[in-house]
Amino acid sequence: MRLSAVNTMLPEEFIGVLGWVFEDSPWVAERAWASRPFATREALHAAMCDAVKRAPAADQLALLRAHPDLGKRARMSAASAGEQSGAGLDQLTAAEHAELTALNNAYRDKFGFPFLFAVKGSGKLDIMEALRKRIQSLPAEEFREALAQVFRIAEFRLEETIDAA
């Protein structure tokens, strides 16, 4: 899709086309729409990230919680399923799946949201190592890191959706 088309969309169409970029959180697209026109795809991404940054902490937490656990064999958005498959998380051994499930549960218990990692370009070993490391973080720093990962995920999704030109 061309950015020029995005810039001419009415709010409902804009939300319909881009509301999925931030997992099950169309409010991000809704709040970013007013920043049109976007000079570049990067400007669109920045406007969406700014909408999240300006949002109340409760909205930010809901955004984090909208994401599925990595490697979980459950219903998730097509975008998440494709991203996880690309990282090999759909091909875990039984032992890897058990460890990932245990780490995901411990992470969620500690922080109150799922472990978030922009998996594009990473493999299952990279992801497992990041999870082992980040579970040691303090809650405030992990909240910031989780949002940063969500921003990276959204950037990757926009790169696949909006033409650079």
CATH label of the domain that carries residue 34:
1.10.3330.10
Q: pLDDT tens, 56-110? A: 999 999 999 999 888 765 444 556 555 555 556 777 788 888 888 899 999 999 9
Rounded Cα–Cα distance for residues 35 and 44 (Å):
8
- Taking the C-alpha atoms of residue 139 and residue 110, their distance in angstroms, rounded to an integer, is 8
Q: Tally the domains of the chain.
A: 1
CA 95 vs CA 37, 42, 64, 68, 153: distances in Å: 49, 40, 27, 20, 27
Q: Which of 31, 67, 124, 157 is catalytic?
A: 67
Structure tokens at 20: 């999925």
Q: Which residue has the higher pLDDT, 77 or 53?
A: 53
| 143 phi and psi angles, rounded to 5 deg | -60, -45
For helices 57-65 and 41-54, the axis angle rounded to 10 degrees is 120
Determine whether 67 is an active site residue. Answer: yes
Tokens for 132, please give them: 């082992």
The residue range of the domain holding 131 is 3-161
163 pLDDT exceeds 80? Answer: yes
- What does the pLDDT read at residue 85? 56
Confidence of residue 36 (pLDDT cuts 50, 70, 90): very high
Kindly report whether the global pTM for this prediction surpasses the value 0.85: yes
For the ranges 1-15, 24-38, 82-96, which has the lowest average pLDDT? 82-96
DSSP, res 41: H
